[in-house]
Amino acid sequence: MMESIRKYIAEFIGTAVLVIFGCGSAVAANAMLDAQGVVVALSFSTLAISVAFGLVIVAMAYSVGNISGCHINPAVSLGMLIAGKMSVTDFIGYVISQFLGGIVGAAALVGILGGTEYGLGTNGYGDASVMGATMTQAIAIEVILTFVFVFAILGVTSKAQNSAVAGIVIGLTLTLVHILGVPFTGTSVNPARSFGPALFMGSEALSQVWVFIVAPLIGAAIAAVVFRLLQPEDKKN
C-alpha cells in the first residue's frame, strides 16, 4: 500500500513540476510577444518551450523515475496499461494523481504570476492556434504526436539496459514533438498538462480541452497496440 502511495505522490509532483516549468515557459513566450513582437516570440515559443518540456521530463525521469517510472502523463499510463506494463489499480491511481498535479501546477502558476494576463500555456485550435489549425487538424496532430511519443517510451523502456539513457531519450522525443506541435496546438500529448491550465483559464480553453484529452489517449492506445503487435512472440505479455 505504501509503495503505491509513494508512486502516486511521485506522479503528482512530477506532473505539477511539468506544468509549472513547461507551461511557464509558454507564459514567458506570450510576454515576449507583447513586449518584442511576433518574430521573437514565435522563435522563443517553438524552441524554448520545446526544450523546457524536454528538460523537465529529463529532470523528473532521474528524480522520480525510480519510484513511479515517471509517466506524469495519463496518455503514457494508458499506453503502459495496454502494453501490459501496469495494473488497472495503478493506472487509476496514476491518472488521478497526474490530473491533480496538473491542477496544482496551474494554480501555482496563477499564484506566481498574480493572474492569467499572458495565459497559462493552454492548448487550442482555431483562433487559439498560431497556424489556425482546425479542430480536425488539431485532433490528427495530437494523435500523431502522442503516438510517436508513447511509442518511443515503450521502446526505450522495454530493455533494462536502456535505463541509464531512457530519461534523455524520452526528454528529447518530447522536445521533438513540441517543435512540430507548438505552432499548431501548443502541443499537448498529455491530458493532465492540458486540463490544469484550461481549468483556470476557462472560456475557450476549457471548451476546447476535450480535444487535448481525447486525442492524446487515442494516440497512446494506438502506439501501445502497434508496439505489442511488433513484439516477438516470446516477449509478448
Comparing C-alpha atoms, which of 90, 94, 112 is closest to residue 191?
94
Fill in the DSSP letter of residue 83.
T
Contact residues for 41 (Cβ-Cβ < 8 A; gap 6+): 29, 30, 32, 33
Lowest pLDDT segment from 109-123, 139-153, 171-185, 195-209: 109-123
Which CATH code is given to the segment(s) 2-235?
Answer: 1.20.1080.10
H/E element, 146? helix 135-156
Tally of CA atoms within 13 A in the half-sphere of 203 that contains its CB:
8
Q: Are 118 and 31 a contacting pair, CB within 8 Å? A: yes
Q: What is the pLDDT of residues 49-106, one digit of tens each?
A: 899 999 999 999 999 999 999 999 999 999 999 999 999 999 999 999 999 999 999 9
Asked if pLDDT for residue 237 goes beyond 60, the answer is no
CA distance 160 to 169: 14
Domain ranges of the chain: 2-235
